[in-house]
Structure 1
Amino acid sequence: MHRRALLGGALAAPAILSIPVRAQGAITLNGASQFNDEHAFTRCLAKFEEAVKLYYGKPINFVLHKNSSLGLEKQYFEYMAQGRAVDYAIVSPAHMSTFSRAAPFIDAPFIFRDLAHWDNVLQHDLLKPVADEIEKRARVMLIGYAGGGVRNIFANKPLRTVADLRGLKVRVQGAPIWSRTFQAVGMSPTVIAYNEIYNAIQNGVIDAGENEAAGVEQMRFFEVAPQLALTQHAITIRPLCFSSATFAKLPNDLQAAIRRAGREAAIFGRQIESQEDETKLDALEKAGRLKRVEFTERAQMKRLVDPVMQAYAKEIDAEPILRRIDATAA
């Protein structure tokens, strides 16, 4: 048996190593989350731990490092790709783009019509070609798909139409497709680290950001950008990832338990995040912390984005996947 150990302690990334050693016959797996116990991602990872223990049926230890104690999702993915420090985590596809151009396609803007369409795409495993490429190039396995949050734009002013979005300085994720699609609508996107968004809006560097309800609540974005424009421009897919380097060292029965647990935990994660979206926004609005603003031109916004998405799919050889997604019924 092997134990995954963290050496060097803190966030000094290059110094953190995972060294396999014997530890009382039990394997230890290290996970990471940017968030606290209440966040959907952390709860999904806790469910994964619970399910692995159930299906494996032998002693195994899990250490889940929460509240960004090991950095942010981009670092988690790099660690997993390198086979050190982090064995499992939930990571936004945008942070995988260094290893796979197709990765951000998983939850790019306007891929999904609604939650029913999103769920059907996942149930039919239409994203498998992208997952296969990520595993081959990054040596990180996508063992399940969490997510389900509907992303909207939070800003320091009300936004109701495409005209209102023109010139908007908005933070986007690092994958180029996010900048391209937001530029197509007329916005001025900029890439800023997730943990710097609050201060950037507060200091006037940007006017807005975009996120699902869980992120808006957790990061308290409503304090600096209380106007939530219901653009519904994306539905999140947040892969539950596992390091291929770690996986290869594990016994076959534990590998089987991890694959089964990953699928089940991700379904649990999808259910709680999609169900809690509305609940969280209701609570924030009732408390006077946030105001939902009806966005009346989503269809026009999508028409502006569609050519960019089609060109992007062609560029990354994902046209067949996009066609299958478009043809999938809700």
Structure 2
Amino acid sequence: MTFRLKTVLGATALVLVSALAAQAETVLKWAHVYETSEPFHTESVWAAEEIAKRTEGRYKVEVYPASQLGKEADINQGLKLGTVDIIISGSSFAARDFKPIGVTYFPYIFRDPSHLLAYTKSDIFKRLSKGYEDATGNHITAVTYYGTRHTTSNKPIEKCADMAGLKIRVPDVPAYLAMPRACGANTTPIAFAEVYLALQNGTVEAQENPLTTIEAKKFYEVQKNIVLTGHIVDHLNTVVSKTLWGNLSDADKAIFTEVMQEAAARATKIIEERENKLVDTFKQKGINVVTVDKADFEKTVLEKVTFEEFGYDKADWEAIRAVQ
């Protein structure tokens, strides 16, 4: 066999190997609504790279941030339609398919981020996640701490009753409305992108979000008080579509789960570190940061809000509260 023929055959073999490798690679779409600077994105990119490494290149995960593939409702729908394979999304959207899982947004259900993380390892988490999976086929692989939601206001607030008549912007999510309405506030569902202007021009007097969001969106520039109501310990789920989860081998399911849980832990750590520094940062900016009696708020919520009106089960709430 001549050297030239050997070279041609060798080149052909390389082309065939490359073609087979390309065929073996499965491209997946991972979507979320968060900015590229946020840990929910940076750690998703890290996870995508890790999945490629740990599956020896059999999966290539492309991450689409900042609503590139649609708003949160759209990407949840995309799991059903097959237009996305993996998303990061709140339990409020999972609750649209399985209401009981939304109990995790009930005010003061979690004591702190460590309680939330303990919940993700509990039997009640497994039961609620299974209920969601039975309803949709989608699988929750990991939970990331999003931040503890607090209130900002131009009006001083020290106790629940101080919110009576307060015009406050709250996301149009049932459980998010529970605390403000129980305290007598007038809730207004303004689009997130318009909140700063609404606060600035007085359309609303207050809003609620984690400290990291209050900083990122500069709400402190148009609010006099940051009130540490801590009413919701918020979180996000990493969700794999029914189709993708069903097609993964047991070994690959283990890899995806491990990587996604590692990514969630990394993002959670970043959020906690940022939050721990922000109270002092806001005080240095001259903002009045108020520590309130959370027990007063919690007591009022439990007196005035029922679990049934949201489709939640009190037994689930009790089980989560009991998690240590």
TM-score, scaled relative to structure 1: 0.81
SS in 1 for 2:66: coil
Q: How does 1:250-265 map to 2 (within 5 A)?
A: 250-265=248-263
Cα displacement (A) at 1:217: 2.6
2:260 and 2:113 mapped to 1: Cα distance?
21
Q: Tell me, yes or no, if structure 1 residue 92 matches structure 2 residue 90.
A: yes
What does residue 52 of structure 1 align with? 51
What runs of 5+ residues in structure 1 fail to find an aligned partner? 1-21
Q: Look up the SS of the partner of 1:123 in the other structure.
A: coil
Return the offset for 1:212: 1.0
Q: Is the 8 A contact 2:107 2:178 kept in 1?
A: no
1:57 aligns to what SS in structure 2?
Answer: coil
C-alpha displacement of 1:239: 1.0
* Alignment size in residue pairs: 304
Confirm or deny: 8 A CA contact 1:184 1:308 kept in the other structure: yes
The one-letter code matched in structure 1 to 2:81 is Q
Aligned partner letter, 1:210: E
**CA shift for structure 1 position 54:** 3.6
Query: Cα offset for 1:284?
Result: 4.6
TM-score of the superposed pair, with normalisation by structure 2: 0.83
**What is the CA-CA distance between 1:297 and the residue it aligns to?**
2.9
Tell me the CA shift for residue 146 of structure 1. Answer: 0.3
CA pair 248-187 structure 1, distance change in 2 beyond 3 A:
same
What per-residue deviation string (whole Å, max 9, x for no partner) do you get for residues 109-137 of structure 1? 11012233333222325322221222222
- Name 1:230's counterpart in structure 2: 228
Residue 194 of structure 2: which of 189, 193, 196 is its match?
196
Q: What one-letter code is carried by the residue in structure 1 that aligns with 2:98?
A: S
Q: Which residue of 1 aligns with 2:142?
A: 144
Q: 1:244 — aligned with what? A: 242
What is aligned with 2:295? Answer: 299
Distance 1:33 1:218 in 2: 18
What secondary structure, in the 3-state scheme, does the structure 2 residue paired with 1:126 have? Answer: helix
Any gaps of 5 or more consecutive residues in structure 2?
A: 1-20
- Contact kept? 1:80, 1:88, Cα under 8 Å: yes
Q: Alpha carbons of 1:209 and 1:74: their partners in 2 closer, same or farther (altered >3 Å)?
A: farther
In 2, Cα distance between equivalents of 1:244 and 1:33: 17
How far apart are 1:148 and its partner, in Å? 4.9
Inter-partner Cα distance in structure 2 for 1:194 and 1:161: 26
Return the alpha-carbon distance in structure 1 between the equivalents of residues 196 and 292 of structure 2.
27
Identity value in percent: 23
**2:154 aligned partner, one-letter code:** N
1:220 maps to 218
- The alpha-carbon distance between structure 1 residues 198 and 139, as it changes in their structure 2 partners (threshold 3 A), is farther
String of CA shifts for 1:40-79, please: whole Å, max 9, x gaps: 2113312322332343223422221122323332322221
Q: Give the Cα separation in 2 of the matches to 1:44 and 1:318.
A: 33
Classify 1:34/1:283 alpha carbon distance in 2 versus 1 (closer, same or farther; 3 Å): farther
Q: Any idea what the Cα deviations from partners look like across 1:178-220, whole Å, max 9, x if unmatched?
A: 2233211111123333333223323433222211122223333
Is 2:25–2:58's contact at 8 Å kept on the other side of the alignment? yes
Which structure has the larger Rg? 2
For the Cα contact (< 8 Å) 1:144–1:239, is it kept in 2? yes
The structure in which a higher percent of residues are helix is 2
RMSD of aligned residue pairs (Cα, Å)? 2.6
Residue 75 of structure 1 aligns with an amino acid whose one-letter code is: D
* Aligned twin of 1:19: none
Aligned equivalent of 1:326: 321
CA distance in 1, matches of 2:210, 2:47: 22
